[in-house]
Amino acid sequence: MSARCLRSLVTSREWDIDRRVVFDRDEFTCQHCESAGDEETLRLYPVGTVPTDGPVHESSLVTVCSTCAAVLRDDARPARERSAVDSAASIDADGPAALAAIAPDELFALVHETTRKQGTAVSDVAAFASFATTLPSALAGSDGDTAGSAGSTDSTDSADRAESPVSPESTAPATGDETDGETADTAPESSVDDLSREFVTARRTLLLTLSVVDRRLARLDQFESDATESAAAPLLLDFVDTATKLQSELHDLVSLAELVAASIGRCHNCFEPLAVAAPGGPAPSQPCPTCAQSPRDTEAWHRADSNVVDFERLFSATNDTLRDAAATTETLTERTTALATELVEK
């Protein structure tokens, strides 16, 4: 796989977990294609960082059907099991595929589906990033400290001063006033539970969508870009390069949202409280007591000469990355149109 391809995907393993816990949570439905199944036809798929052995918390796994699991693992499948949309995804899984080996209509379908899934990811990541910026004030204690804060103080003040992220569809800043101002000390426990559930569910869904797009881009990248007999070759190369750049920006936005969670003393994976840091001391480095994930390192985002997270700088970085993603999306639209026009005319 060339340098343009993103992260390698985690292969399946014997998960040390009660599979029904995840299946029940996901209502025995594939979280990719939304097809219903049972314990025989459904599989577990990892999202985010997952240990190679030992127990795995349910927040790190999603339910997928066997067909979608095969696409995500890049397994070759019989043609009767493949839809027209992903029929190209399993061509020649053992090595680079010639561009001429796939019909223009199949390539068009794969490009179209990749663009559709990535478009969904763009809007969902923007919403997730904006939601993450409301967490410090939503979970702030009455004394101005975030609940369970990992060595950070004055987070509410920083969050209020920081510019709220913009969506990729607009350069107008969001209001950042979505929360009702209740603190963790006065808000009912259900409110904190709702925030936790929203964060974990949105992150898990996003990571699965990004994995699907990563996989499709990896397959598109395997088609030979030097097929001089095809006018679509350079257009396909431009499309994959730009879509891959956008993927990197979307992954970065998810990581920034995870940093917000870590900065308020919450696990970026399951959103359960981390160990509370000593006043003025470094952020805790012990694994999450609930899901055993190592906490995100927030040191690079501390204010000078302190262990306090600079939320204003963190939110500004989120804003900048959203704007970069918006610009990349515009470029991708132009390159997708050029490629689609060539494929349709052919």
Report if residue 254 sits inside a domain: yes
The overall average pLDDT reported for the chain is: 76
Report if residue 115 sits inside a domain: yes
pLDDT digit string, tens, across residues 255-296: 999 999 999 999 999 999 987 655 555 556 788 988 888 889
pLDDT band, very low/low/confident/very high, at 232 (cuts 50, 70, 90): confident
Residue 153 structural domain: 83-345
pLDDT digit string, tens, across residues 156-213: 444 444 444 444 443 333 333 444 444 334 445 558 889 999 999 999 999 999 999 9
User: Which residues are bridge partners to 173 per DSSP?
Assistant: 166
Report if residue 76 sits inside a domain: no
Question: Can you tell me the distance from the alpha carbon of 47 to that of 59, in angstroms, rounded to the nearest whole number?
Answer: 9
Stretch 233-242: mean pLDDT, rounded? 93
pLDDT digit string, tens, across residues 119-135: 999 999 999 999 999 99
Q: What is the pTM of this model?
A: 0.77
Nearest Cα neighbor of 135 from 259, 253, 252 is 259
DSSP 12: P
Nearest Cα neighbor of 75 from 208, 213, 219, 210 is 219
pLDDT digit string, tens, across residues 37-65: 999 999 999 998 877 667 788 999 999 99
List the alpha helices (DSSP H) in 164-221.
189-221
How many structural domains compose the chain? 1
Report if residue 313 sits inside a domain: yes
- DSSP SS3 for 77: coil
Question: Which structure tokens are listed for 96?
Answer: 């680079």
Report if residue 172 sits inside a domain: yes
Q: What pLDDT is recorded for position 261?
A: 95
Question: Which structure tokens are listed for 251?
Answer: 């992954």
Q: Among the listed ranges 37-51, 63-77, 94-108, 234-248, which one has the minimum average pLDDT value?
A: 94-108
Q: What pLDDT is recorded for position 55?
A: 78
Q: Are 41 and 65 in contact (CB under 8 A)?
A: yes
pLDDT digit string, tens, across residues 6-17: 333 333 445 557
Report if residue 72 sits inside a domain: no
Report if residue 41 sits inside a domain: no
Using CA atoms, how far residue 331 sits from 190, 205, 217, 248, in Å, is 43, 26, 17, 15
Report if residue 317 sits inside a domain: yes
